[in-house]
Amino acid sequence: MSKPVHGVTLAEIYAARRRIAGQAGRTPLVRSEALSRRFDAEILLKLETLQPTGAFKLRGVANMIAALLERNGREALAAGVTTASTGNHGRAVAYAASRLGVPAVICLSRRVPDNKVAAVEALGAEVRRVGDSQDEAFGEVERLVAESGMVAIPPFDDPLIAAGQGTIGVELMEDAPDLDHVLVGLSGGGLLGGIGAALKAIRPSLEVTGVSLSQGAAMHDSLLAGHPVAVEEVESLGDSLGGGIGLDNRCTFALVREVMDSHWRVSEQAIATAMVELLEHEKLLVEGAAAVGLAALNEHELDVRGRKVALVLSGNGVSLETLERARALAGR
């Protein structure tokens, strides 16, 4: 069989699992009794909130940096690493760089919440606030690569990043081999694409559902158009799902189109309600982007009766201020 155009295979995902062992943790898959009763299904929660950096992003970053070291040696990172990120990816790069003792510059748009900026800075990385969008922050990354020789670690659009995130799919299959359905937040496509690549290779009948914001959903609009398109970013409780997919996207657009079976968009009220429900009933503090799977089940009344369903809770990067805003919007 020829290698797929996006470059993400099950073999690459298993190689990623070997590389990230000891850096990114294997996270629990736990049953929610309350949600299982409500939806007349077995609802399982994949707790990526328990990663050392509080989000799934560490998997892809650790895989890419380890692969660079394997291929090119330590000199590959001599000038340091850089990236643009809405927060979680930047924190993952800062964490991995700090462990290797190499400099890191994280470029963030001014829309990124202050708590996420502080989390990156606490790991010793330099933060540069650039512009009002991810695309403007990416421009600074390109300048650093061209002028300083730094190595760019992309947030999603790279086979090594997607393969790292795909290790979640392998863990899901090991812990719940009879899983029927998984719901994953969808933005740039590295998370859903990687998980979907693993799941479809192991259990092709499993349904993979992506969940996007109701506005500013770049992958959603790109899939409808048949090619990557630009969108205007909007303020959202699910800020980690904002940003474009890159007009020159070379990996995740094709990957998501291949592995995703269904796709829903969710409102701010639905995200808020899901965040509050997960805190009140599951005692889990999650960011808006991590709550969109439950938001889709609630808002669209998805029929999952009798099925085994996993919700990927992707991160815990939420401030108390944002949580209070979510509670107010949810009427709690």
Lay out the sheet containing 104-108: strands in order across: 126-129, 104-108, 81-84, 151-152
Axis-axis angle for helices 252-259, 190-202 (nearest 10): 40
Among candidate residues 117, 90, 115, 114, the one with its CA nearest the CA of residue 104: 90
Ramachandran assignment for 124, one of left (phi > 0), alpha (psi -120 to 50 degrees), beta (any other): left
Which residue spans within 172-299 are E strands per DSSP? 181-185, 207-213, 262-266
Q: Which of 187, 214, 240, 314 is catalytic?
A: 314
Start-to-end CA distance of the chain, whole Å, equals: 53
Taking each continuous run of H as one helix and of E as one strand, the counts in the chain are 13, 10
Q: Which of 32, 46, 57, 133 is catalytic?
A: 57
Is 314 catalytic? The answer is yes
Among candidate residues 256, 264, 260, 257, the one with its CA nearest the CA of residue 302: 264
Is 57 catalytic? The answer is yes
Among candidate residues 283, 206, 276, 221, the one with its CA nearest the CA of residue 253: 221
Q: Measure the CA–CA gap between 291 and 272, rounded to whole angstroms.
A: 8
State the catalytic residues.
Answer: 57, 314
